[in-house]
Amino acid sequence: MTTDYFWRMTRRRLSRARGASAFGLVALLAALFLPQAATPLRAGLETFQRDTVVIETAAGDQRRFTVELAVNSAQHAQGLMFRRDLAADAGMLFLFGRTREVSMWMKNTLIPLDMLFIAEDGRIVAVAERAVPGSLETISPGQPVAGVLEINGGMAARLGIAAGDRVRHAAFGTAP
């Protein structure tokens, strides 16, 4: 074997080895990161049961919403975090099991929301309109409530929903 041939073969083997190691590195990185790219935005998120609420306005209108129910502390903590959109007739109903002081915030929430604070008899006692996405400012009604209904920001004003209106749902003894 001539030295020229030896060096040509050596360069070819090194080139192949570098290609193989580069391919191996790409394969390793793909194995590590591609499964996560195929999963939802945040793995391990809570799931929610769905139900219907009807809001009866002072004007006599009835507004129906399909809601997800947040009934435990993990669901309360997550709420509508990480959601990129919310259907016009959808929302989340936070139920606390008893009347209590509550404070809400918009951490990791990507869309503006209206918050309807609800007394144990289903009466809306306060409305916080257009809560700012991502804000850490706490939002409270100033009195104990039994639940909070979150809907798209601006929807309360658009539909004429205000304090004094009634939320009909089994949790408030006012099932639709």
Q: pLDDT tens digit string along 117-135?
A: 999 999 999 999 999 999 9
Report the sign of the C-alpha dihedral through residues 70, 72, 75, 77, in that order.
Answer: positive
> Whole-model pTM?
0.75
User: How distant, in Å, are the alpha carbons of 11, 14, 17, 93 from that of 5?
Assistant: 10, 14, 18, 77
**Sequence-separated (6 or more) residues with CB below 8 Å from residue 140:** 101, 102, 103, 104
Tokens 């580069």 map to which residue? 22
d(CA 64, CA 57): 11
Backbone φ, ψ for residue 137 (5° rounding): -70, 135
pLDDT of residue 80: 95
pLDDT of residue 34: 46
Tokens 């609420």 map to which residue? 53
Q: Give 168's strand partners.
A: 54
- Take residue 150 and report the two structure tokens written for it: 């979150």
* Residue 117 near residue 127 (C-beta atoms within 8 A): yes
Say whether pLDDT at 68 is over 80: yes
Say whether pLDDT at 31 is over 80: no
